[in-house]
Amino acid sequence: MPTLGLGVAVNDECAEACKIALQNGYRMIDSARHYRNEAGVGSGVRQSGISREDIFITSKIFHNEFGYDSTLSAVNDSIKNLGFGYYDLYLIHSPRTGKANRLATYKALQEAKAAGLVRCIGVSNYSGKHIDEIIEAGYELPDVNQLELHPFCQQRPIIEYCTERNIAVQAYTPLVRGAMDHAVIQGLAKKYEKDGAQILIRWSLQKGFVPLPKSANEQRIVSNGQVYDFEIAEADMALLDALDRGADGAVTWNPVGAE
């Protein structure tokens, strides 16, 4: 799995963004059925000229399609939309709708993996208790847990849980939906001669996360990928770490507390 990906939520015309990202070094695209742009991702991949085998593509099943049979149907429809024969990663988008539905959906994803339709499976917005259900059912551990993650919402208990179990953590909304005017972020941007988005993405990388910054703007897509030529010092990482507000710092739905 690459260390950085392009998020395409709320992007009805994402083919161009995917093409630009792939032609500028990105090798991961994060989509979802709820975004209704899986076909656009496939189009962008084909336009990019980059081989499908060199790209890591993700989709997710939303809770309106949870359930064993409906999940298998959704995976097949996602593959049809993409226009290639498989996904690299397929996630359960949230823990909503209850334990029975979560487990039936996960069981179906395991079977899709065994059939070669998806290469890895995982979850999104799951807390430790939700993953405990998977373990107690005797199913394989998820490869990935995708969470809202940025300095204001660091999800520390869930991160610790995943780290202990070698579950990779992907960070969505790493740019706080553009709310980067905090004095600490701007001060570090000036210090390192980078912009605020690059500081936040670099923070995510140094925490061991896989950030998924979203943009439809060519210049921003390119600059968001230019984060491997500097390192934030330990003391400055601590300044960003100190911004954590827990769940109160979330800027999205963040349904990790679902029953």
- Residues annotated in a binding site for substrate: 93
Please give the Cα distance from 71 to 65 (Å, whole number): 6
* Coil, strand or helix at 252: coil
Contacts of 176 (CB under 8 A, 6+ apart): 150, 151, 152, 200, 251
CA distances 93 to 26, 31, 36, 184, Å, are: 23, 11, 14, 32
Main-chain phi, psi angles of 215, to 5 degrees: -165, 150
Closest residue by Cα to residue 91 from 133, 115, 114, 57: 57
CB-based contacts of 205: which residues, under 8 Å, 6+ apart? Answer: 3, 4, 211, 227
Q: Is 106 part of the annotated catalytic residue set?
A: no
Catalytic residue, chosen from 26, 35, 106, 161, is 35
Coil/strand/helix, residue 44: helix
Both structure tokens of 136: 């107690």
Name the packing angle between helices 128-136 and 99-114 (round to 10°).
60
Catalytic site positions = 35
